[in-house]
Structure 1
Amino acid sequence: MNMIDQFAWVIFPYLCVAVFVVGHIFRYRYDQFNWTAKSSEFIEKKQLMVGSLLFHIGIIPVIMGHVAGLGIPKEWMNALGVNDHLYHIGAMYVGGLFGVITFAGMLILTARRITKRSIRKLSSTSDIIVNLLLVFIVFMGMYSTLVTNNVQPEFDYRETISIWFRNLFLFRPEAALMTSVPVTFKIHVLSGFLILAFWPFTRLVHVWSVPLNYARRSYILYRKNRGQSARH
């Protein structure tokens, strides 16, 4: 195993996670004022609505699929009655469908941000980078699922990537598990960790700003000033 593999599959993931955690803490403490999505809805609404809807409809099942595929061991799936054939169908067709939906939504949002002059002026460099990186990540994931899996049907990422990923959290990284992984999967994994490092310094932080306080906030009551109305 060479130093490049050691860096890519051991040092780089931990470095990205460390930046993700420390960056969020730093920004929350010292830059809460800019903890916002900086909405451009008042400039253009139609493409934003369509693109955002498609992206959010697609990304939630995609994330859940990643959690299941990477976090749940293959043996556990088999014990639950989900054999390799059934899992492959779910990953290919269900995962592929939602991957396409996510990709379509991200394409619309990115094209909107780049081609609409007023929105482009409102956007920062990090906004453009994040959009392009998300398009690239989703594309590589979709390509790996729909193309690479068909070209190399003998490859099972649950026997390589999934084990490597879980071992990262156990602080027992095994870079050797990733050496035989197809290059498209490698690019998808590395770009996924890269966006973790970008996350705290971009508008992606607004994901954590769930407005739970609105549920317990008091109503704002407006009462008519009858005395003043009577005088007029």
Structure 2
Amino acid sequence: MMSLLWIILPYSAFLSFAAGHVWRYRHDRFSWYITGPDVDRAQRIGAPALRIGIGMLVVVRLTDLFFTGPHNHPDGPLDIALAVIEVCALVAGSVGAVLLFVPDMIGTPARQAVTPLDRLTFPLMVAALLSWVAVKFDPNSSADANLTTETLFTWFRSLFTLHPNPEAMANAPLIYQARGLAVLSFLAIWPYTRLAGIFADPVIRFILRIRPELAASRTRLRAAGQQT
């Protein structure tokens, strides 16, 4: 069970994330419906807000991952800057997620834009947020005994070596295990939801400006998607 949860599952999530992006590119060139003419103003605002929020969170998490140890963590101006960025990222990401997902879930979109995985994405984002709060304010964790570093960071770093360390999570408190599983689930389904284009779509748009001859195939795929 330990190997299944903390070795097989994470590598499967990484594979799903990578293979899903390849499939999505071949399927519709990331021409997700949010860029269509039938999108309301709230969703047009929600997409970049979510992009900015998630982008800033990734920067903070990577900084923590590489510069934090059991008895070593960022302090001084860097710690303050990371805290400010994290708060701003959570606000932007939360507002963006609500604007992007909620209108179609409570309304009746012109076409079937919400998939079952889209409906699962929003609860997973809420679970990731709540688990972050639980881990961040865990009374059993402190600067001298940072449980996040000893469990989540140690395990995640080990996945990129030839020696995964599932014991770090197998012996972790429940809230740390729940956070790890929520993040893995989020990564696994990412390419198969409307979130697939959050970062990929701007890159594709930039490439199309450089290579305008590639725009025709994307236009055809988008037109075909709007008819289904």
TM-score, shorter chain, exceeding 0.5: yes
Aligned residues: 207
Deviation string, structure 1 residues 76-115 (Cα, Å, up to 9, x no partner)? 976xxx34x7666555554234223312321232222211
Question: What is the distance in 2 between the residues matched to 1:40 and 1:23?
Answer: 20
Partner of 1:108: 99
1:15-94 alignment runs, 5 A limit: 15-28=12-25, 31-33=26-28, 35-39=30-34, 42-74=37-69, 82-83=74-75, 89=80, 92-94=83-85
**Cross-structure match for 1:152:** 140
What TM-score do the two structures reach when normalised by structure 1?
A: 0.71
**Residue 170 of structure 1: how far off its partner (Å):** 0.5
Which one has the largest radius of gyration? Answer: 1
User: What is the deviation of 1:74?
Assistant: 3.0
Give the one of 167, 176, 200 matched to 1:208: 200
SS of residue paired to 2:33: coil
Pick one of 143, 151, 171 that aligns with 2:162: 171
Q: SS state of the match for residue 170, structure 1? A: coil
Q: Secondary structure of 2:61's match?
A: helix
Counterpart of 1:95 (choices 70, 86, 104) is 86
Q: Which residue of 1 aligns with 2:222?
A: none
Residues 51 and 108 of structure 1 are in contact (CA less than 8 Å); yes or no, is this contact kept in structure 2? Answer: yes
* Closer/same/farther in 2, CA of residues 51 and 15 from structure 1, 3 Å limit: same
Q: What amino acid is aligned across from residue 19 of structure 2 in structure 1?
A: V
DSSP 3-state at the match of 1:118: coil
Give the CA RMSD over aligned residues.
3.2
Deviations 1:152-195 (A, max 9, x none): 34351123321211111002111121244333332222121112
Relative distance call for 1:136 and 1:77 in structure 2 (3 A) is: same
Q: CA deviation at 1:143?
A: 4.3
Q: 1: CA distance between counterparts of 2:81 and 2:117? A: 35
Distance in 2 between the 1:144 and 1:96 partners?
Answer: 15
Which is further off, 165-174 or 101-110?
101-110
Which of 7, 11, 14 lines up with 1:14 in the alignment? 11
Shift of 1:217: 4.8
Letter aligned with residue 200 of structure 2: W
Aligned counterparts of 2:43 and 2:193: Cα–Cα separation in 1? 19
CA contact (8 A) 2:34 2:43 kept: no
After the TM superposition, which of the residue ranges 201-210 and 105-114 deviates more from structure 2?
A: 201-210
- Of all paired residues, the percent bearing the same amino acid is 21
